[in-house]
């Protein structure tokens, strides 16, 4: 199973780093049956979070044909970014206001 974690300007670092760590550990424990990568709609680039200017590197572009699952951290900025708004929908979850719960969806 391949998972793409989608980064966008203003993302919440905890919503990216925690799932990445868990999925990476799953890949290690399953002899590579799970793989994970950080991506952006624009392709490889440094992506600045909404917390203290922390930046992570997207190593590839969001590719619906390549992934089994996408994980996209929540933040109001995502719905304001034309590059990511095509791939994201506001979900329902425990979060509310400008920082709802993260989104996760399967490939079509």
Element (H, E) at 72: strand 69-72
Report the predicted TM-score, pTM, of the whole model to 2 decimal places.
Answer: 0.70
Segment among 16-25, 56-65, 69-78 with least mean pLDDT: 69-78
By residue range, what is the domain housing residue 37? Answer: 2-106
**Structure confidence at residue 69 (pLDDT):** 83
Q: How many domains does the chain have?
A: 1
What's the longest Cα–Cα distance across the chain? 40
Q: Tell me: the pLDDT tens digits for 61-107?
A: 999 888 888 888 865 444 454 444 334 333 333 333 333 344 444 44
Q: Is the pLDDT of residue 26 over 90?
A: yes
Q: At 91, is the secondary structure helix, strand, or coil?
A: coil
């Amino acid at each position: 199973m391949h998972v793409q974690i989608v980064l966008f300007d203003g993302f919440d670092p905890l919503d990216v780093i925690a799932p990445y760590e868990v999925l990476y550990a799953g890949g290690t424990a399953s002899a590579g049956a799970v793989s994970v990568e950080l991506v952006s709609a624009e392709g490889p680039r440094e992506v600045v979070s909404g917390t203290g200017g922390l930046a992570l590197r997207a190593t590839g572009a969001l590719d619906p044909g390549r992934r089994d699952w996408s994980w996209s951290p929540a933040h109001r900025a995502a719905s304001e970014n034309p590059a990511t708004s095509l791939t994201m929908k506001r979900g329902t979850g425990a979060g509310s206001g400008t920082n709802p719960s993260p989104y996760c969806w399967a490939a079509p």
